[in-house]
Structure 1
Amino acid sequence: MMGTSQLVAIRRETVDIQEIVERQLTNNWIHGMLSGSMREGFRLNGSDKDFMYWPNDHRVIMDMSQSEYYNTASTTLILSDSSESPPGFTLLQLLTPTEITEVQSACVRMNGRVYISSFIHSELTCSVVVPNSTVHGPCGSGNVEGLEYDNAHCFACDFWPTPASLWIDRCHLWPGPEVVEDIVRNGCHVVAIGHPLGPHKNEEWRLSFSRAEYKLVYSMNHSQFLTYGLLKIFL
């Protein structure tokens, strides 16, 4: 039902190759990533397709010192400001100009600073990939030929967030240190949805660890993978 270890490996490799080809076709300007169950290697009845898209020339930094790693002439920098947000959520302050119309139009001014509104951004981008999509959480959602999809337009961060550093210290037996290093080195994403009880619900963004999640699943042996699949079905 969930496939042999060889079949699961083929599914994952096919997705990896497809993403490499698609990035070449877009001249590496926009990055796309399949996430969720299909990325993990499942092909379960009723599963939808979850995609994440982010502009490669926009980067979120966790503090100002990290700006030195970027050429601001070619990269738009966005500062994560979680000082007033619940854990796992943050405001995004635009530090340098952007040429993306949807980002420009989503900017709001608070306390003399320019922030990107998650609510406005999701409204503007929900139908970019598939016309007539509807906003569902941080995604533009719909149904194409019987297959449901969720497209999340987000921003990438090359750094592991400080509040999540405790997770690194908990990884003693699983996953292995090389997996942990790979996950931390690849950072995280921020998706356009605020905490429903947060002080800035329409402006806040949520930290997303979708890449870390599928890397963790990739590190499972096949028996663990099948057990994880059964839990998905039951829950």
Structure 2
Amino acid sequence: MVTYRSSREWEIMREAGRVVARTLEAVRRAAEPGISLRELDAVAARSIKEHHAVSSFLGYHPSWAPTPYPATVCLSVNDVVVHGVPDDRVLAAGDLVSADCGAELGGYHGDAAMTFCVGPPDDAGLRLMDVTRTALERAIAAARPGGRMGDISSAVERTAREAGYGILEGCGGHGIGTAMHEDPPVPNTGRAGRGLRLREGLTIAIEPMFHEGGGDATRVLPDGWSIATADGSRAAHFEHTIAITGEDPVVLTAL
């Protein structure tokens, strides 16, 4: 069932979104060569606690996962596209890191992701991040009342295909509010003019996930959570939680 939120609920989600944005920024600043993913997860845990919020991810156990998620944030490096579990891996210069964070505050959730490079990126890595971020921007711009969910999905898919990038199959955005994952699904592939009619009050997370290989095949790593590209190509992931209003969409997870 799709739930439509009031402006008062948007305000609470905006506060949760600010916690997410500040936490992602803290993780990005701390990500230097020699730091481990487990240490970065501790940075995120401190940030969320300092803002009197709770991680939306820690202990989360969807039906498809073998165990509850064991960390505060998802940290996915290079060929890992999404749901990467922080461990003792040490970052090196040139690594692409996708950080995905959710936080609950006042009974409502915010969810966002960013990809950054440890040190200066190479040209191909920079292009991958820029294109994936552009897809998110185009998808947000398409989130207007009277439109269709397919308008959002098509904006993401067209951006990837025009750049020659693969799209993570079976994963996409979602509704969000008093639960981290709610209806409706927000696919990263689709046709404009199709799907759910967009209405004021809809709050969704939009999250393009692209990778350098042209195919969409993936593999699940032994931890049961981390999804990596089948061909070993690098990936990028950007996400914002937004509210569809009577005018322009409002990003709830921006600083």
Larger Rg over CA atoms:
1
TM-score (normalised: structure 2): 0.26
Q: Which has the higher helix share?
A: 1
